[in-house]
Amino acid sequence: MEVIKNIINIGQDDPKQTLFEGQYKIEHGIRYNSYLILDDKTCLVDTIDREVSKQWFEDLQKALDGRNLDYLVISHLEPDHAYSIPMILKAYKDVKIVITMAGFKMLQNFLNDYTFNNDNITFAKEGDVLSLGEHNLKFIMAPFIHWPEVMMEYEMTSKTLFSADAFGRFGTYDYNDDNLDESRRYYIGIVGKYGSFVKNLLTKAGNLEINRIAPLHGNVIEKDSLGKYLDAYSKWASYQSEDNDVTIVVSSVYGNTLDASKFLENELIKAGKKVNLFYLNHDDFHQAIAYSFKSQNLVLFSITYNNDIFPVMKSYIDGLKERNFQNKNVYLIENGSWGPLANKLEKEMFSEMKDIKILKELRIMSRMNQKNKEELISLAKEI
Ligand code: FEO
């Protein structure tokens, strides 16, 4: 697939993959991109995951059409992009590797049975330029987006930013993600923790004239859509809510807590609020986390289990904390048949996060009664 004349995307879809990084559910598959630049010199920007390497290598050879591969630029060592490096080293013995110094240390660990020719390794530093003829790749260091060794490349002639994992998403190439749900779930899940590093990157990107962003996952983002993605990244990186909606997250065993959450949902909708409800026992755990970042208001309906928070709810709150969740209004509703503890324990967990306002705590004993209903109606008005 041509990105623009003489820049070919030889990436592959993996529609059958169901888990990304062994934990994120991917209903719509995943895309791995790998870019070939054809100029006086030929240059490959990143390789590909093991599951799709066979077709990728055939496509690479077809696109090279008998030419040698002069350069391999390695932006990121995570194996979903770096797994197929040995195929390149075997087929193109004199290929020159361009990589960060931190990346080379990881590469040596991954390929611990391979002897590198040091004459063929170039360490890229911030602002270095690799000239391929008409195309020139300027290197931009991007640590922790999403590993510490990451760099990006700005092709100065076509004004294309090869952005590594940044601006990627779940879903195959043609998946329609207009509402950004799979971009957000990917971002919050994978780099949500590293907002300050993403802000640094956005500052650097602000100094570049960019015609398109070519990430390692998802589709190439052309100029007319760039504003939407840059705005979203700017909010995500600074932990700003995207809207004043309400996200309700529920754990329930016999349905009484779920009933109470749906009662509040209905009251909120009647009051004109947009509500996103996630029933953690069944719904996607990571989408619940992503939507908790998206909305300004978070309501938890929780139960106590073994004198602790019900396991899936506890893991969800841990998931928020891991990703630097902050700056939200939180409402806690617990349900217990004896000795409810969920609110107390959740408050302790949230106290370790920045700028979380616990604005209300309510308790239900076993099943919502009339008083609880009135409290929830009043809470809906308050929110
Ligand atoms: Fe898509 Fe961090 O690898």
pLDDT per residue as tens digits for the range 210-234: 999 999 999 999 999 999 999 999 9
The Å distance, Cα 343 to ligand 1 centre, comes to: 36
Residues 376 and 252 in one domain: yes
Domain with 169 in it: what CATH number? 3.60.15.10
Residues 207 and 264 in one domain: no
Residues 77 and 214 in one domain: yes
Ligand 1 nearest-atom number relative to CA 164: 1
Q: Is the CB of 78 under 6 A from ligand 1?
A: yes
SS (H, E, C) 180-203: CHHHHHHHHHHHHHHHHHHHHHHH
Average pLDDT over residues 248-254: 97
Residues 223 and 266 in one domain: no
Averaged pLDDT of the chain:
97
Confidence of residue 174 (pLDDT cuts 50, 70, 90): very high
SS3 323: coil
pLDDT tens sequence across 137-159: 999 999 999 899 999 999 999 99
* CA 156 to mean position of chain CA atoms: 27
The Å distance, Cα 250 to ligand 1 centre, comes to: 31
For atom 1 of ligand 1, the residue with the nearest CA is 165
Q: Is the CB of 31 under 6 A from ligand 1?
A: no
Q: Is the CB of 149 under 6 A from ligand 1?
A: no
Which of 237, 270, 293 is the endpoint of a domain? Answer: 237
pLDDT tens sequence across 298-316: 999 999 999 999 999 999 9
Q: Is the CB of 14 under 6 A from ligand 1?
A: no
Which of 188, 217, 237 is the endpoint of a domain? Answer: 237
Q: Is the CB of 81 under 6 A from ligand 1?
A: yes
- Per the structure, the complete domain to which residue 378 belongs is given by 246-382
Residues 179 and 328 in one domain: no
Cα atoms in the Cβ-side hemisphere of radius 13 Å centred on 164: 28
The Å distance, Cα 82 to ligand 1 centre, comes to: 9
The Å distance, Cα 75 to ligand 1 centre, comes to: 10
Predicted confidence at residue 373, as pLDDT, reads 98
Confidence of residue 323 (pLDDT cuts 50, 70, 90): very high
From the CB of residue 123, how many other CB atoms can be counted at a distance below 10 Å? Answer: 14
Average pLDDT over residues 237-263: 97
Residues 27 and 171 in one domain: yes
Which of 208, 237, 266 is the endpoint of a domain? Answer: 237
Residues 22 and 157 in one domain: yes
Q: In sequence order, what DSSP letters do the residues of 32-91 get, joined into one string?
A: E--EEEESSSEEEE----GGGHHHHHHHHHHHHTTPPP-EEE----SHHHHTTHHHHHHH
Q: What is the four-CA torsion angle of 156, 162, 163, 164, rounded to 10 degrees?
A: -150
d(CA 309, CA 97): 50
Average pLDDT over residues 177-206: 96
Domain with 304 in it: what CATH number? 3.40.50.360
Residues 217 and 285 in one domain: no
Contacts of 275 (CB under 8 A, 6+ apart): 245, 246, 247, 248, 265, 268, 269
| Residue 192 and residue 324 in contact, taking contact as beta carbons nearer than 8 Å | yes
The Å distance, Cα 116 to ligand 1 centre, comes to: 24
The Å distance, Cα 98 to ligand 1 centre, comes to: 18
Average pLDDT over residues 16-43: 97
Residue whose tokens read 């991917």: 26
Q: Is the CB of 80 under 6 A from ligand 1?
A: yes
Q: How many domains does the chain have?
A: 2
Confidence of residue 324 (pLDDT cuts 50, 70, 90): very high
Residue whose tokens read 């409402």: 331
Token couple for 218: 């998802």
Residues 206 and 304 in one domain: no
Cα atoms in the Cβ-side hemisphere of radius 13 Å centred on 369: 6
The Å distance, Cα 32 to ligand 1 centre, comes to: 9
Residues 126 and 172 in one domain: yes
The Å distance, Cα 268 to ligand 1 centre, comes to: 38
Residues 35 and 150 in one domain: yes
Residues 98 and 39 in one domain: yes
Average pLDDT over residues 73-91: 98
Predicted confidence at residue 149, as pLDDT, reads 98
Ligand 1 nearest-atom number relative to CA 216: 1
Predicted confidence at residue 194, as pLDDT, reads 95
Beta bridge partners of 357: 329
Residue type (1 letter), 307: N
For atom 3 of ligand 1, the residue with the nearest CA is 78
